Amino acid sequence: MGPAKLRAALVEQVALSGLDACGVAQVEALPRDQAAFDFWLARGYHRSMAYMEKYRDARADPDRLLPGCRSVVMVVLNYGPGTDGAAPQAPGGKVARYARGRDYHKVLGKKLKRIAAWLQEAGGLPARSFVDTGPVLERAWAERAGLGWIGKNANLIRRDLGSWFLLGEILSVAEIEPDPAPHEDFCGSCSACIADCPTGAIVAPGVVDSGLCIAYWNIEHRGSIPAPMREAMGDRIFGCDDCQTVCPWTRKFGTVPPSDPLSARRDLAALNPMEILAMDREKFLARFAGTPVMRARLDGMRRNACIVLGNSGNPEAIPALTLACSDPDPMIRDHAAWALARLQT
Ligand code: B12
């Protein structure tokens, strides 16, 4: 199959899989993005995410992941709120929107594996898929593939979906007709995300210092959370969506229902922090197995629950926090004591 035919057939496969969009980038050097990535690492903006230091040259050079790679197929999985977007948020610990459904690594990973197998067959050349965890600069490749632009909040933004979508990719040795040019930037003079980030984490347009980003602390970080971040976390128990919810594109267009059942499970929008604090491993697995919340682990979620309770102003949390002050885990004891002190002053 020639590059144009392969592209047409691929677009069809992607649509059949319930994915929302796809674009193709021809493999080429990405000097702006490689430099941005090196700068980000050099400044230590990855904080304790040591895995970001691995395979640093591969992120903008897919040939290191798939020798002979000629095409990067980027796909979009919408997790927009659909029709329940206007529903008021139940009180409790707020969960980032992407994490309220089934784990996208699994949902998207499965679809991409299937499409990659099809592509390998149709193109007669090797193909390999990744979602999130591969050493691939996903936003940079997606912008190059015409799927949207990297906004000032560093997220890839689309004019039809805002930024409520996830990315995944297939690397292919086959030549697939690419999208003609990187997507144009439509942030214009707006910098609402920079101004409204509660912790000033967007230190320059498109540049996030993870050490100031709530999503880093309450998802990725293992161990104690610094006191100023605890206060700033407010009621966010997992992740943070503030830089997306203030974006005019996301506000306006982020209500398109997803094509996929990823968002079918909606019971994770708000979690009861007292219930989380009281959880053991068995209850944690029963509630969160197969969801992105697993990433924070049980101890991380119990730590986050203490913080949310400390910020809640709710005196009903005092008995649970008092009990947690004698928890076997010193990290939980420390966060519970902080929360108690905050509630009692
Ligand atoms: C590490 C990581 C994080 C870290 C660090 C975030 C960061 N901005 O780097 C933490 C834990 C904080 C995080 C948080 C979130 N993440 Co995250 N994360 C990643 C991961 C694994 C790597 C990102 C990375 O390489 N960072 C290094 C920096 C240098 O790269 P970058 O952020 O892509 O930045 C590019 C541009 O900003 C550009 N750039 C840099 N400087 C400049 C300057 C100018 C002027 C311009 C134009 C461009 C530019 O160059 C960079 C390289 O291309 C990717 C998956 C992947 N493999 O790419 C997911 C990913 C970026 N995350 C994702 C999501 C959903 C989130 C959250 C929204 C989750 C949440 N709600 O809590 C937040 C959003 C925070 C934010 N505003 O970035 C999605 C984003 C989807 C989208 N539409 O963009 C991704 C792509 C995962 C996926 N497979 O879908 N994340």
Query: Is the distance from the beta carbon of residue 217 to the nearest atom of ligand 1 less than 6 Å?
Result: no
Query: Is the distance from the beta carbon of residue 130 to the nearest atom of ligand 1 less than 6 Å?
Result: no
Q: What is the pLDDT of residue 90?
A: 53
**Active-site residue identified among 63, 132, 185, 327:** 132
Report the separation in Å between the CA atom of 307 and the middle of ligand 1, taken as the mean of its atom positions.
Answer: 25
Report the separation in Å between the CA atom of 155 and the middle of ligand 1, taken as the mean of its atom positions.
Answer: 6
Q: What is the pLDDT of residue 189?
A: 98
In the DSSP assignment, the letter for residue 218 is I
Span 3-84+98-172 CATH architecture: 3-Layer(aba) Sandwich (3.40)
Query: Is the distance from the beta carbon of residue 193 to the nearest atom of ligand 1 less than 6 Å?
Result: no
In the DSSP assignment, the letter for residue 328 is S
Long-range pairs of 105-109 with CB within 8 A, sequence gap ≥ 24: 105/131, 105/132, 105/133, 105/292, 106/290, 107/77, 107/260, 107/262, 108/19, 108/75, 108/77, 108/166, 108/168, 109/168
Query: Is the distance from the beta carbon of residue 274 to the nearest atom of ligand 1 less than 6 Å?
Result: no
- Which protein residue has the closest C-alpha to ligand 1 atom 48? 206
**Which two tokens mark 34?**
């490689």
pTM of the model as a whole: 0.96
Q: What is the pLDDT of residue 87?
A: 44
Show pLDDT as tens, one digit a residue, over the chain (345 residues).
899 999 999 999 999 999 999 999 999 999 999 999 999 999 999 999 999 999 888 888 999 999 999 999 999 999 887 644 444 455 689 999 999 888 999 999 999 999 999 999 999 999 999 999 999 999 999 999 999 999 999 999 999 999 999 999 999 999 999 999 888 899 999 999 999 999 999 999 999 999 999 999 999 999 999 999 999 999 999 999 999 999 999 998 877 877 776 555 566 878 999 999 999 999 999 999 999 999 999 999 999 999 999 999 999 999 999 999 999 999 999 999 999 999 998
- Matching fold, domains 3-84+98-172 and 199-239+272-344: no
H helices of the chain, in order, are 3-16, 31-42, 104-123, 138-144, 192-196, 214-215, 227-233, 242-245, 248-253, 273-277, 281-288, 297-312, 318-324, 330-344
Report the separation in Å between the CA atom of 333 and the middle of ligand 1, taken as the mean of its atom positions.
Answer: 32
Query: Is the distance from the beta carbon of residue 127 to the nearest atom of ligand 1 less than 6 Å?
Result: no
Task: Report whether CATH 3.30.450.90 matches the domain 199-239+272-344.
Answer: no
Q: What is the pLDDT of residue 89?
A: 55
Pairing of β 270-271 and β 207-208:
unpaired
Per domain, the residue ranges of the chain are 3-84+98-172, 199-239+272-344
Q: What is the pLDDT of residue 86?
A: 40
H helices of 124-261, in order, are 138-144, 192-196, 214-215, 227-233, 242-245, 248-253
* 132 is annotated as an active-site residue: yes
- Which protein residue has the closest C-alpha to ligand 1 atom 57? 132
Residue 244 CA: which ligand 1 atom is closest? 68
What count of other Cβ atoms lies within 10 Å of the Cβ of residue 106?
A: 14
**Residue burial 307-331, b: 16+ Cβ < 10 Å; e: rest:** bbbbbbeeeebeebbeebeebeeeb
Query: Is the distance from the beta carbon of residue 203 to the nearest atom of ligand 1 less than 6 Å?
Result: no
Q: What is the pLDDT of residue 22?
A: 97
